[in-house]
Structure 1
């Protein structure tokens, strides 16, 4: 039985990856410090014989007993609310964290896949974004703690690949959605659905002409699975190229939820990207992958998940109290 370590295991994408690999017959070691993760996402895996959980922060030394075949590094705050509240932890998990995991992978001779992000492209000057675009990122903006951390993580991974000959893979993940997202984490889909369910007007920043491309979680996991077992070592975009403006998307959410809220407009945050659309030519050619779930189907499933959350979750404004973490 191959053994795989998945960091960020109690998070949104990480928990779905734990499901996939456990169901494929791997022995899954989940790791999370639970700053933004939630044990409810993986409680159903705890009774299984091929799953174990380690409550640990990967910015500290990581030890795993026995053999290890694969590592998926998905530990990181990934929403604006999180990485603006805990900027230093966001920087550390993609610098100290990746250094620790690369050292572990080297020692275990394990293949390592990192979760990078479309945010490495910043506010792009080319459209759609292909992997050979180097990006337009403001290193000292509030968003820079996430964008630059991920860019450094890619550089560190490629340095270990070239210098030590290690097996590494880099996934540039575009906006992904589905069940287990946190309702009030500041990302577009849970923000809109949460407002609709509470009877609030939907908040659009700027004039709403900025675009996003949303990939359903099942498609995302399939793309990551194929990338891990491919022979390709340069970055690969994993996302859905179907693009929509935020203003039009807000209208879709109102229609989906059957509510009659208005759309209200607020100032655009600093360095918020105006366009997001992946060029997935590499994923199609190298992985034989492209998304299968259309947005209407994926949003229906996501809405059903959020609609069935307990009322106290719906009305919770923030996920956790970060006060004990901010100054570390």
Structure 2
């Protein structure tokens, strides 16, 4: 059966990054023609992408709205869709320290992509959003004023811009609200998210540090499952705001224990006092995603085992270099 993405011309921002590179890989597997936009074509990250005549890599910063608009308007043949993955992200501490910059960068990127799509007559824009925009039950619109997190606010603003473009300009926007993503090609370094940060410390022989009592619940989805679900739902055009995740939750301390067990290393977990209350988390309502997709995402245990195999193959016994979160 032919894929609805077969033969489509798609531009992916952040195309050599963690999430974007998986979109590129999956779209190529569906028979799409893909332009992967990156600020710099890092040689190691280029090896993540398959050798495919349908792929081209474009090296420029999408924060440059003029350059992005030119690339979109001059694309031949005209692009059918944009998948927007570029942006600033990181762990909780990184987000706290850089909230202003994150908000500024991510909103500018979203505006550049949406305005460029409008001017170039591109029908479909998929914009990676986050379940963090949603303080209540899944699928409920974010209410401004409930968060001082620049990252969550940036995603909420991007969603609002996308809704305006959908209503005023007829752009077919799709907003997948991702749970915590993990899997191969994730970013390491000072701003690493919780799973690669824990993984790095355990393999270095260090203790994993957990804030508070470690009972905060988190929901994760393997990045390839998230991409697969997104492309299926976006192609249907039945829902345009969907939480992408699983109903499975795990506490931070249990996550650390699971990683120690999968790595076959004795547990070393240190709890740290924190001055502020840590978000407790909740199970996500992923009923819409489950209704519109034809597969069951892998369990966290299975996904982590796969991630560990990739990590060992990619880095061996070496510590990975600290790649920046933005710049993909």
Task: State the TM-score, normalizing by the size of structure 1.
Answer: 0.86
SS at match of 2:34: strand
1:196 aligned onto 2:196: no
State the Cα distance separating 1:158 from its structure 2 match.
Answer: 0.2
* Corresponding residue of 2:24: 18
CA distance in 2, matches of 1:133, 1:168: 15
CA distance in 2, matches of 1:153, 1:93: 11
Identify if the C-alpha distance between structure 1 residues 311 and 92 changes in structure 2 by more than 3 Å, giving closer, same or farther: same
CA distance in 2, matches of 1:52, 1:85: 35
SS at match of 1:314: coil
* Corresponding residue of 2:129: 116
State the Cα distance separating 1:139 from its structure 2 match.
Answer: 4.4
Identify if the C-alpha distance between structure 1 residues 298 and 6 changes in structure 2 by more than 3 Å, giving closer, same or farther: same
Deviations 1:49-83 (A, max 9, x none): 11111122212121222200010011112213654
1:245 aligned onto 2:251: yes
1:102 aligned onto 2:110: no
Contact 1:205 1:269 in 2 (8 A): no
* Corresponding residue of 2:306: 301
CA distance in 1, matches of 2:275, 2:104: 24
After superposition, residues 160-239 of structure 1 pair within 5 angstroms as: 160-184=165-189, 185-239=191-245
CA distance in 2, matches of 1:315, 1:301: 18
Identify if the C-alpha distance between structure 1 residues 269 and 45 changes in structure 2 by more than 3 Å, giving closer, same or farther: farther
Contact 2:243 2:285 in 1 (8 A): yes
CA distance in 1, matches of 2:309, 2:218: 22
Give unmatched runs, 5+ long, in structure 2. Answer: 1-6
Identify if the C-alpha distance between structure 1 residues 116 and 44 changes in structure 2 by more than 3 Å, giving closer, same or farther: closer
Identify if the C-alpha distance between structure 1 residues 280 and 320 changes in structure 2 by more than 3 Å, giving closer, same or farther: closer
CA distance in 1, matches of 2:325, 2:186: 18
SS at match of 2:128: strand
Deviations 1:104-125 (A, max 9, x none): 222223200100001112xx4x
CA distance in 2, matches of 1:78, 1:138: 20
CA distance in 1, matches of 2:97, 2:141: 29
Identify if the C-alpha distance between structure 1 residues 252 and 315 changes in structure 2 by more than 3 Å, giving closer, same or farther: same
CA distance in 2, matches of 1:9, 1:82: 22
Greater CA drift, 86-95 or 8-17: 86-95
Contact 2:209 2:271 in 1 (8 A): yes
Identify if the C-alpha distance between structure 1 residues 40 and 88 changes in structure 2 by more than 3 Å, giving closer, same or farther: farther
State the Cα distance separating 1:22 from its structure 2 match.
Answer: 1.2
Identify if the C-alpha distance between structure 1 residues 305 and 44 changes in structure 2 by more than 3 Å, giving closer, same or farther: closer
Contact 2:216 2:251 in 1 (8 A): yes
2:323 to 294, 308, 319: 319
User: How big is the alpha-carbon RMSD for the aligned residues of Structure 1 and Structure 2?
Assistant: 2.6
Give unmatched runs, 5+ long, in structure 1. Answer: none
